[in-house]
Chain A
Amino acid sequence: MDVRAQLSMVFHLDKCIGCHTCSLACKNVWTSREGAEYMWWNNVETKPGTGYPTLWEDQTKYRGGWEMKGKSLRPRMGRRTGMLTNLFFNPFLPSMDDYYEPWTYQYGHLFTAPQADDQPTARAISKVTGKFMDVEAGPNWDDDMSGSSVYARNDINLSELTDAEREALFRLEQMMFFYIPRICNHCLNPGCVGVCPSGAIYKRAEDGIVLVSQEKCRGWRFCVSGCPYKKTYYNWQTGKSEKCILCYPRVETGQAPACFHTCVGRIRYMGVLLYDAERIEEVAKTPDAGLVEAQRSLILDPNDAKVIAAARKNGIGDDWIASAQKSPTYKFVKQWGIALPLHIEFRTLPMLFYVPPLLPMLASTQNGSYDLGNSDFFGNVEKFRVPMKYMARLFSAGNEEIIKNALKKLLAVRAHKQAQSVGNLSVEKASASLAEAGCNADEAEAIFRLTALPRFEDRFVLPPYHREEVIGLDIEPIKQMGQVGLGFNQPPRRGP
Chain B
Amino acid sequence: MLETFLFGVFPYVATVVMVVGLIWRYTTNQFSYSTVSSQFLENRQLFWGSVPWHYGIILVLLAHLVGVVFPDGVQAVNGVPLRLYILEGTAFALSLTLLVGLIVLMLRRGISANVRVMTSPMDVVLLFVLLAQVVTGIITAVFYRWGSAWFIQTATPYFWSLFTLSPKVEYMTALPLLSKLHAINFFILVALFPFSRLVHMLSVPLAYLWRPYQIVMWHRRQTRDRVSGL
Residues of A within 8 A of B (CB): 75, 80-81, 83-84, 87-91, 93, 95-97, 128-131, 189-190, 193-194, 196-199, 201-206, 214-215, 217-221, 234, 236-240, 277, 280-281, 315, 470, 484, 488, 490, 492, 494-496
Contacts and interface: CB of A to CB of B under 8 A. Distances in A.
Contact of B33 (A129, A203, A218, A237): A218
Contact of A236 (B118, B204, B211, B213): B118
Main secondary structure of the interface of A (DSSP, over half): loop
A253 to B, nearest CB: 15
Interface centre among B37, B206, B217 (most CB of A within 10 A): B37
Contact of A95 (B35, B40, B53, B227): B40
A213 to B, nearest CB: 9
B9 to A, nearest CB: 25
B217 A221 contact: no
Interface stretch (B135-143, B150-158, B195-203): B195-203
B160 interface: no
A314 to B, nearest CB: 10
A89 B46 contact: yes
Nearest to B200: A218
Nearest to A277: B230
Closest 4 CB pairs of A and B: A495-B32, A197-B205, A239-B36, A95-B43
A90 B39 contact: yes
B219 interface: yes
Given A129-B114, A206-B219, A89 B47 contact: yes
Contacts of B220: 206, 315
Interface string B84-124: 00000000000000000000000000000110111010100
A193 B32 CA distance: 21
A129 B113 contact: yes
Interface in B46-101: 46-47, 50-51, 53-55
A81 B55 CA distance: 15
Given A128-B117, A198-B203, A496 B37 contact: no
B213 A194 contact: yes
A440 B32 CA distance: 59
A193 B39 contact: no
8 contacts: A90-B39, A95-B39, A96-B41, A198-B203, A205-B216, A206-B219, A218-B33, A496-B195
Given A198-B203, A221-B40, A80 B217 contact: no
Nearest to A2: B230
A27 B214 CA distance: 29
B1 interface: no
Interface residues of B, number: 53
A492 B29 CA distance: 10
A90 B50 CA distance: 11
A84 B46 contact: no
B61 to A, nearest CB: 14
A410 B196 CA distance: 60
A273 to B, nearest CB: 16
A242 B199 CA distance: 22
A88 B31 contact: no
A205 B219 contact: yes
B215 interface: yes
A75 B213 contact: yes
A189 B216 CA distance: 10
Given A84-B208, A496-B196, 7 more contacts: A89-B46, A89-B51, A93-B39, A193-B215, A205-B219, A205-B228, A236-B38
A219 B34 contact: yes
A470 B219 CA distance: 10
Contacts of B118: 236-237
B209 interface: yes
A131 B113 contact: yes
B218 interface: yes
B219 A199 contact: no
B126 to A, nearest CB: 10
Interface centre among B203, B214, B219 (most CB of A within 10 A): B214
Interface centre among B42, B54, B228, B230 (most CB of A within 10 A): B230
B41 A236 contact: yes
B166 interface: no
A194 B31 contact: no
Contacts of B216: 202-205, 277
A199 B215 contact: yes
Contact of A280 (B116, B205, B230): B230
Given A239-B35, A280-B230, A96 B40 contact: yes
Contacts of B36: 219, 236, 238-239, 494
Contacts of A131: 113
B39 A190 contact: no
Interface centre among A88, A90, A93 (most CB of B within 10 A): A88
Contacts of A189: 214, 230
